[in-house]
Amino acid sequence: MAAIRTARERARAELTAEIKAAARRQLAAVGASELSLRAVARELGMVSSALYRYYGSRDELLTALIIDAYDALGTAAETALAAPAASPRARWLAVADAIRAWGRANPSEYALIYGSPVPGYQAPRDTIDPALRVAFALLAPIRACAADGTLAPLPGPTPTMPDELRAQLDAIAAAVAPELTPDVTARALSAYTLVFGMISFELFGQYTNGVDPADAFFEYTLSRTADLLGLPDVDVHASS
Amino acid sequence: MAAIRTARERARAELTAEIKAAARRQLAAVGASELSLRAVARELGMVSSALYRYYGSRDELLTALIIDAYDALGTAAETALAAPAASPRARWLAVADAIRAWGRANPSEYALIYGSPVPGYQAPRDTIDPALRVAFALLAPIRACAADGTLAPLPGPTPTMPDELRAQLDAIAAAVAPELTPDVTARALSAYTLVFGMISFELFGQYTNGVDPADAFFEYTLSRTADLLGLPDVDVHASS
DNA sequence: TGTACATCAGTGAACGCGCGTTCACTGATGTAC
DNA sequence: TGTACATCAGTGAACGCGCGTTCACTGATGTAC
């Protein structure tokens, strides 16, 4: 990131931020596929063609919003991960809570990245890395315990694993978490899916007339899930 | 449903079906929020105003599509539920598999009902009952076992349950599954969330470069989830 | 410090397009007697 | 069975609107000497 030196550069950085802020408001009001450059320009008191000095097309702006959303969520998760925690289990719960809190605070941006894809819009490669940050943060406490052997023996039976799945899980582990056995990787992925499944159901209205507000259900299920992952509830790392 | 008697009534029923079929194709091409009455009419070789003989507005057509999607998914799940199965566990797995199969076969309709809500569109009350059918089908094998005491003792620790959650779960149980204890209800709801979480992640592209194709991961996770629900793997009901 | 030139942000008009919905109408189908 | 009338499906034109994107332009900011 180059240092901002001239007034022109400062103005450009500020206006870029204002454009994205206005676009985020649009997003909340009408949704991703109806995000309109003209409406954004109108809100900023500019003429619509002026936006083309900042983004080459509507899709480019949409991409910037997606990357920002992944980054904001990733930052929230990483902040929770870095905070002091009584145990690996508590740390994992804190990350999951932070993910949910971000989603509730930014429902339209959550929908942008975890809702139905916008037909006709193809997310470019630049979105992949930011998208992985949150997954990494949720994985980190599990990896730390697996690395020093403090992951509790996994409760419950372990189904036989077909070769196809083992190969997929090995590839994931090799890329991001070499400490994990295939079964732990599978449980971690399933826990990750459950965390986002609950948040999506809550935000998209599937829990209406059921467990909405979902705070207690979320915590209860998360607690059971942490046990199934074998995350220890004592601070094993503090004693070293 | 009134019997169709006249040629006019037959034509109307046929054209209604054709309109919905064309609208479903639109949905797949451009998504729910960009569904266009004019495009539907164009595909049918009609003039756009003619559609107003069938649906009073764009939103009315969208509602019909949503209800149809819930009903189609509900039917698929109920069919799997009614099929012969070796055990309650197998029956539950069959229902979950049927849900996923329907989603994969009809991704745009799945996105319509389980994806991000369309901003500005408020689903009317008529969608509630059809939406519950699939949840009922997935719940049925658990209820049957709970009713005759064949649900296995639940493995794993049970977190303490706050009163707020207990009240919510009691209300759900009272309405749809009085056989279930609060903890079983919570586990059933969490399993339900996990099933849809996995399908959404698969269809919305979150498993790309991971466990995609997700067949093996889905079955593996489902198998472990069935165990956590205590669903017996023998046909306890056949012996009675 | 001052001047001449280059860069860049924002304007305003325009292009070509698609949308939902209304309305008066024509002509075919159905019904009552 | 035949006729007169009512119902309804579909037409075509129109209203008023918003959209993304291009383009020649003005005027302010920045840079080199």
pLDDT of residue B1: 45
- A and B: number of Cβ contacts within 8 A: 165
**Residue A135 to chain B, least CA–CA distance (Å):** 11
Tens place of pLDDT per residue across chain B (240 aa): 456 678 899 999 999 999 999 999 999 999 998 999 999 999 999 999 999 999 999 999 999 999 999 999 999 999 999 999 999 999 999 999 999 999 999 999 999 999 998 887 888 899 999 999 999 999 999 999 999 999 998 877 789 999 999 999 999 999 999 999 999 999 999 999 999 999 999 999 999 989 999 999 999 999 999 999 999 999 866 654
Q: So what's the pLDDT on residue B4? A: 64
Q: Which of B26, B219, B220, B227 is the best mutation test for A, with the most CBs of A within 10 A?
A: B220
- Asked if B33's CB is within 8 angstroms of A33's CB, the reply is yes
Question: Over the Cα atoms of chain B, what is R_g?
Answer: 21
Q: Which residues of A16-49 are buried (b: 16+ CB within 10 A; e: fewer)?
A: eeebbebbbebbeebbbbbbebebbbeebebeee
Distance, CA of B81 to CA of B94 (rounded, Å): 7
Distance, C-alpha B95 to centroid of its chain? 10
The DSSP annotation for A43-61 comes to HHT--GGGGGGT-SSHHHH
Overall size of chain A counted in residues: 240
CA distance linking residue B164 with residue A72, whole number of Å? 31
CA distance B223 to B90: 9
The CA–C1' separation of A6 and C1, in angstroms, is 20
Contacts of B215 in chain A (CB under 8 A): 164
Q: Which nucleotide is nearest to A53 (CA to C1')?
A: C9
Q: Contact, B209 vs A127, CB < 8 A?
A: no
Instruction: Determine the nucleotide nearest to B5 by Cα–C1' distance.
Output: C30
- Classify B31 as helix, strand or coil: coil
Distance from CA of A32 to the nearest CA of B (A): 9
Residue ranges of the alpha helices (H) in chain B? 7-30, 37-44, 58-82, 88-105, 107-114, 128-147, 163-176, 182-203, 215-229
pLDDT given for residue B240 in this prediction:
44
Q: What is the rounded CA–CA span in Å between residue B131 and residue A18?
A: 40
* Contact flag A115-B116 (C-beta cutoff 8 Å): yes
Q: Which of residues 58-77 of A touch strand D (CB under 7 A)?
A: 58-59
Rounded to whole angstroms, the Cα distance separating B42 from B25 reads: 12
CA B117 to C1' C12, whole Å: 37
Smallest CA–C1' distance to D22, residue:
A49
Taking only residues 2 to 41 of chain A, the set having a beta carbon closer than 8 angstroms to any beta carbon of chain B reads 28-34
* Two tokens, residue B63: 């509602």
Closest by alpha carbon to B58, among B32, B87, B84? B32
What contacts A97, CB < 8 A, 6 or more positions away? A80, A222
- In this predicted model, what pLDDT tens digit does every residue of A115-167 receive, in sequence order? 998 887 888 899 999 999 999 999 999 999 999 999 998 877 789 999 999 99
Residues of A in contact with B217 (CB under 8 A): 165, 168, 186, 189-190
A3 CB-near residues (< 8 Å, 6+ apart): none
User: A121-138 in b/e burial notation, b at 16+ Cβ within 10 A?
Assistant: eebeeeeeebbbbbbebb
**pLDDT number for residue B6:** 85
Nucleotides of C under 7 A from a protein CB: 8-14, 18-24, 29-31
Report the run of H or E that residue A173 belongs to, with start and end.
helix A163-176
- Nearest protein residue to nucleotide C12 (CA to C1' distance) is A47
pLDDT at position B10: 93
Distance in angstroms (rounded) separating the CA atoms of residues B145 and B9: 46
Which 168-227 residues of chain B touch chain A by CB within 8 A? 168-169, 172, 186-187, 189-190, 193-194, 196-198, 200-201, 204-206, 209-211, 215-217, 219-221, 223-224, 227
Q: Which two tokens stand for residue B99?
A: 């849900």
Q: Which of A204, A171, A208, A200 is nearest to A186 (CA)?
A: A171
Name the residue with tokens 């829990």: A207
Q: Which nucleotide has the shortest C1'-to-CA distance from A47?
A: C11
DSSP 8-class letter at A118? P
Taking the C1' atom of every nucleotide in all shown strands and the CA of A37, the nearest one is D20
Distance of CA A116 to the CA centre of its chain: 15
pLDDT recorded at residue B41:
97
d(CA A99, CA A138): 9
B187 Cα to chain A: minimum distance (Å): 8
CA of A145 to C1' of D17 (A): 60
How far apart CA B116 and CA A108 sit, in angstroms, is 9
Token pair for residue B95? 């229902």
A5-50 confidence digits (pLDDT tens): 788 999 999 999 999 999 999 999 999 989 999 999 999 999 999 9
First-residue to last-residue Cα distance in chain A? 39
Q: CA–C1' span, B226 to D20, in Å?
A: 51
- Report the C-alpha gap between B40 and B158 in whole angstroms: 53
Neighbours of B223 (CB within 10 A): 17
A205 to chain B, closest Cα gap in Å: 8
- Contact yes or no for B31 and A33 at CB 8 A: yes
Question: Which residues, at least 6 apart from B187, have a Cβ–Cβ distance to it below 8 Å?
Answer: A224, B154, B228, B229
- Do the chains contact at B200 and A197, CB–CB below 8 Å? yes
- Cα separation of B184 and B163, whole Å? 16
pLDDT at B226: 97
Element (H, E) at A101: helix A88-105
Residue with the larger pLDDT of the pair A238 and A17: A17
Q: What are the chain B neighbours of A119 within 8 Å (beta carbons)?
A: 28-31, 34, 108
HSE-CB at B128 with a 13 A cutoff on CA atoms is 7
Residues 164-193 (A) near nucleic chain D, CB < 7 A: none
Distance, CA of A129 to C1' of C18, in Å? 37
pLDDT of A3 over the 80 cut:
no
**In this structure, are residues A163 and B215 in contact, taking their beta carbons and an 8 Å threshold?**
no
Average pLDDT for residues A197-219, to the nearest whole number?
Answer: 96
